[in-house]
Amino acid sequence: MAFLVTIELMKLAVIGQGPAGLALAHRAAARGMHVEAWDPQPYAPHVLSVYTDELPAWAKNLPARSTTTPVVYTHDGRKIRIDREYRVLDNERTWQKLTTFPVHRELVDADTVTPAELGADVIVDARGTRDLYTPGSPVQVATDEIVAASQQEHETVFMDFRDMPGDRFSYRIPLDSTRLLRQDTVLATRTPPEEADVFIPLLASRYAGSHIPYGARACFVNPFTGYSIATSFCLADETVDAISARLLHGTGGSSPRLPWEKPSFRTDRYLSALCLRTLLSVPPPLYRTMIESVFSLRPELARKFLILGYPGATLEGMARIWATLAGSDKVQLARAFASAAANGLHLDRKGYP
């Protein structure tokens, strides 16, 4: 009981209420912390979607605009059905449901503000990584187009490589009974267009602030896939527990690590970053084949391969993708991977390049 009383006296300030900041603030409040958040925007304006089986139990029934079973179309027209529920969140209702704490609709200079100025014991910085992007570093980009949906266009197409350049695919999801979101997506590039509706730095610069980062700011983005939303939801409880323990007992040697500081997470990010560098160094046809091969993996392996935190699954997935290739592609991919490993991808102890 003493622990519960103490945790109720802890004050947490969360700057940024995108999906990562929202998840962390919600779970901290659910555990009894006094939580306040800062973000001038009421909820994320862009479409957010995630596989339901990637979410923790408390988030599996978040309000959704649609839940479907998606498909992938390979460049040669083969159709692969992904036997997993894909959830397009209803952002407004999701934010309403999870916002169980006060939110200040104002900008805060997170680079200079102190916990005392916000009446908090600790500040979490969950503002994303657009300001940590370095030109020339890899990004995932997409352009959005919302179109009228015909009766034949109500399937969710996770990736469609037909009639697309080798490094691009079409992503299509129904928003409701009459509208469809269509994205022209480049999974990874060093030369993004000047304007893009989706812009995800895949190897952002290190966060050097004095607060606790969370979400993309804490390296949650899988460098190979660009995924981070499910990771932000899954690690919220563990992060709140670690913050609570640090406030209770200090940050000495026995203090629990934050989830992204653990060796398994850092190792998986390193392996995924090697996959990214390999992807960027091969010709477009092999680039496309590598991505298509992910969906030949068994569902549980694919699930762990696409998000961060499972280095064993990443290694197995890499090996199985390599095994599906033709002989000449195997040689080319092995050389590209060896070059990526040898030519200096160095991540520090927190997983930053």
pLDDT at residue 136 greater than cutoff 90: yes
Residues 127 and 190 in one domain: yes
Q: How many residues does the chain have?
A: 353
Q: What is the DSSP string of 285-329?
A: HHHHHHHHHHTTS-HHHHHHHHSSS-HHHHHHHHHHHHHTS-HHH
| Residue 192 structural domain | 1-261
Residues 271 and 172 in one domain: no
The rounded mean pLDDT for the chain is 90
Residues 69 and 160 in one domain: yes
Asked whether residue 310 is domain-assigned, the answer is yes
pLDDT at residue 3 greater than cutoff 50: no
Residues 30 and 71 in one domain: yes
| CA pair distance 81, 156, nearest whole angstrom | 10
Q: What is the pLDDT of residues 152-191, one digit of tens each?
A: 667 899 999 998 887 899 999 988 888 899 999 999 999 9
How big is the chain by its Cα radius of gyration, in Å? 21
Asked whether residue 328 is domain-assigned, the answer is yes
Mean pLDDT computed over 267-279: 94
Residues 12 and 115 in one domain: yes
Residue 151: band (very low, low, confident or very high) from pLDDT cuts 50, 70, 90: low
| DSSP summary character for residue 272 | H
Residues 292 and 250 in one domain: no
- Paired tokens of 189: 């590039």
Asked whether residue 70 is domain-assigned, the answer is yes
User: Pairing state of beta strands 157-160 and 71-73?
Assistant: parallel
10: domain CATH number is 3.50.50.60
User: Pairing state of beta strands 179-189 and 168-174?
Assistant: antiparallel
User: Percent of the chain at pLDDT above 70?
Assistant: 93
Q: What is the pLDDT of residues 192-226, one digit of tens each?
A: 998 899 999 999 998 999 999 999 999 999 999 99
| CA pair distance 333, 330, nearest whole angstrom | 5
Task: Say how many domains are in the chain.
Answer: 2
Residues 257 and 315 in one domain: no
- Paired tokens of 292: 């298509």
Residues 230 and 328 in one domain: no
Determine contact, residues 350/219, Cβ cutoff 8 Å.
yes
Residues 287 and 180 in one domain: no
Q: Quick one: pLDDT at residue 346?
A: 56
Kindly report the pTM of this predicted structure.
Answer: 0.92
Residues 56 and 194 in one domain: yes
Residues 338 and 247 in one domain: no
Residues 98 and 169 in one domain: yes
- The top-scoring range by mean pLDDT among 12-21, 292-301, 319-328 is 12-21
